[in-house]
Structure 1
């Protein structure tokens, strides 16, 4: 009875995150689901608090991402992207600029930052040049997830695996990085070759104009962002908490504003959302309840059986399972479910771990609800007056996502033999 109740609560919560009944926000739906699961009985209050406490580094990492996004906007980095895109001679060249820049932004600031930085810039630049926006707009969301395996900090999902399974930077470089390079290259190449035009309605001019930044402040901001990448790698190599590094980078950008140009409070109000902490903590508790109720036993058994197969099939099987779950329930809840299931195995194989991570990142590109970064992108596109259907998105995403997924699986298989 308890198991069935928790299953119903979990399914209802996932549906609620998409339907948003009565105008509820995502954090409210997640909190209601976690509270209902707790009332169903698998977890005590102490258990729930311990689950959240054990994930403090991940929660801190989300805080750092929001501070970095706000600082990047306030120091004029978003406006700089718009100016670069406006120099493109064609929609295809703008797509190339988006892909190259998106790989760098995703690697350092995470996949969620890329649509926030690039989507408004792409629409503004396309509007100013009279270009159709479809090609560069879709490239923005594809590269956000497609390049999000490059570093442990490039996607919160990576950090979840890094924390749960005690990866070292050496482990990540050997098991994941080759897959990240191959997957990113294949996805970007196919996304670049897709037709750039389309039947998008012409976006209406927006009333918000990006303000020019203090050039000295902007140079400091760029220097801080560039330095942040090797600091992340150094921290991961030495086992330092990456959440602390993320927050440190955000604080450094804030201090640079104080020193050189004054703080843009509107950027911090827009980018820093305390409700995200409630959302993340609630999903952690909900998934812990699902695990405690025994609902992940079957999933764990299936993943364990993959560990006994040849490396290629183990990686591919795990990647496909993760891709399906991520595109059904979103990659963050999917990653929580899958890491919890894998953690219950006696000896999870490297192939299964790597394949699962590939599916939760690159594989999440297949549907418009597969990742939080895609949801952000959709929201920003709609604010520009452009509405893409689920079918339209899936058609456009299929080839680059499949290419990236297969390339990543192939590279991982070669390295794990």
Structure 2
């Protein structure tokens, strides 16, 4: 247990700091190998974990490439122009536009697209309009986590929960639609209040930029890819195949017009990060099998009433902020899957919304911090956590309320 916990701590600390920009796999691969070599994790258990995670990791690779291809085709540039035209320099109107576009981007292209591709566009738009950047930057940070509740494909944690819940793509979405809407609404109201002084600044310019060229082909491919996710789920095919089809079509289109390159596509897949996810699964198996699983099982409430679901979500949120949301979901899903989809989705709310509390809560938080630093905007740990403390508990409660209501209407 000591060796497993120590390995997990070192892997997560390295992932958060990333000295010299080295990939997370630099430590995760040796850590997993060490646990297997010392017998902390048996080879059979490690192989079973990797086999279980492979479809999820394959989908993650496809979505990362899909988001990059959308960027190459000008989708995010067009989004920035649309935000500028819609807001006409008004910071409050710009915040609404950022919320709408960030929520849609996170739901369809996953939280990584919101953090890595959309956040720089939002900051550039705010600078162009001479609007305060901080409220809009925090909108992308929080929505990268909160707005990832809607679809099984919106977050890596969702894919894991989707497999554990044993329900269809449409059933998952119908149950998570209410939590998604209520959580986003809560985030908007709270951030609007917290940044009311900055948002009250008068528009520095009311100039309307010329309309951007709408990438119609990209939007059609994304719509068809979403349909493919639903169809694939209905016939028992992994959603990674639908994502791969979207990648092939957009990749061919981009290569034919010299808007992308083979090297860019391979780089977007982020192979070291995929190796990190697989090895992290092995390390978490060592921790779970050697005591943490039993300890967490004793803490989790039983039942699927509102109080029980809220308790599960709170525990998941707290664990995510201690060990990061990906290890948290890997630890908790085996413990709650037997209780049914309601408990699984409560865990998902905790590990998706909860990370807005602290930087270590999710890897997307750390990516966001790196992005805003490159854009010459910084947010320290204290400020991030202060804003998280004022927003996350409320958002968590209203999201669980939405889940409980959806269960009464849709059923599990």
Q: TM-score, normalised by structure 2?
A: 0.88
Check the 8 A contact 2:164/2:344 in 1, yes or no.
no
1:383 aligns with 2:374: yes
After superposition, the Cα gap between the structure-2 partners of 1:126 and 1:23, relative to the gap in structure 1 and judged at 3 Å, is closer
After superposition, the Cα gap between the structure-2 partners of 1:221 and 1:357, relative to the gap in structure 1 and judged at 3 Å, is same
Deviations 1:5-30 (A, max 9, x none): 22332233333333446865322122
1:147 is aligned to 147
Check the 8 A contact 2:11/2:24 in 1, yes or no.
no
**What is the root-mean-square deviation of aligned Cα atoms in Å?**
2.5
Which of 285, 288, 297 is 1:288 aligned to? Answer: 285
Deviations 1:214-245 (A, max 9, x none): x58x3211221233223323333443211222
Which of 304, 307, 311 is 2:305 aligned to? Answer: 311
1:263 is aligned to 260
After superposition, the Cα gap between the structure-2 partners of 1:24 and 1:266, relative to the gap in structure 1 and judged at 3 Å, is closer
Q: TM-score, normalised by structure 1?
A: 0.87
**Structure 1 runs not aligned, ≥5 long:** 200-211
Which of 75, 78, 102 is 1:77 aligned to? Answer: 75
Segment drifting more, 354-363 vs 289-298: 289-298
Check the 8 A contact 1:20/1:29 in 2, yes or no.
no
List aligned pairs for 1:265-414, cutoff 5 A. Answer: 267-268=264-265, 271-303=268-300, 306-308=301-303, 311-343=305-337, 347-414=338-405
Deviations 1:153-203 (A, max 9, x none): 11110110111332223542454333223223322333344316659xxxx
After superposition, the Cα gap between the structure-2 partners of 1:226 and 1:289, relative to the gap in structure 1 and judged at 3 Å, is same
2:205 is aligned to none
Return the offset for 1:319.
0.6
After superposition, the Cα gap between the structure-2 partners of 1:307 and 1:175, relative to the gap in structure 1 and judged at 3 Å, is farther
Please state whether the residue corresponding to 2:291 is helix, strand or coil.
coil
Check the 8 A contact 2:167/2:341 in 1, yes or no.
no
Please state whether the residue corresponding to 1:148 is helix, strand or coil.
helix
Task: Tell me the distance in 1 between the aligned counterparts of 2:162 and 2:8.
Answer: 25
Task: Tell me the distance in 2 between the aligned counterparts of 1:371 and 1:97.
Answer: 25
List aligned pairs for 1:1-400, cutoff 5 A. Answer: 3-20=1-18, 24-87=22-85, 88=87, 89-169=89-169, 171-173=171-173, 175-195=175-195, 218-264=215-261, 267-268=264-265, 271-303=268-300, 306-308=301-303, 311-343=305-337, 347-400=338-391
Task: Tell me the distance in 2 between the aligned counterparts of 1:22 and 1:264.
Answer: 26
Paired residues, number: 395
Segment drifting more, 163-172 vs 383-392: 163-172
**Structure 2 runs not aligned, ≥5 long:** 200-210
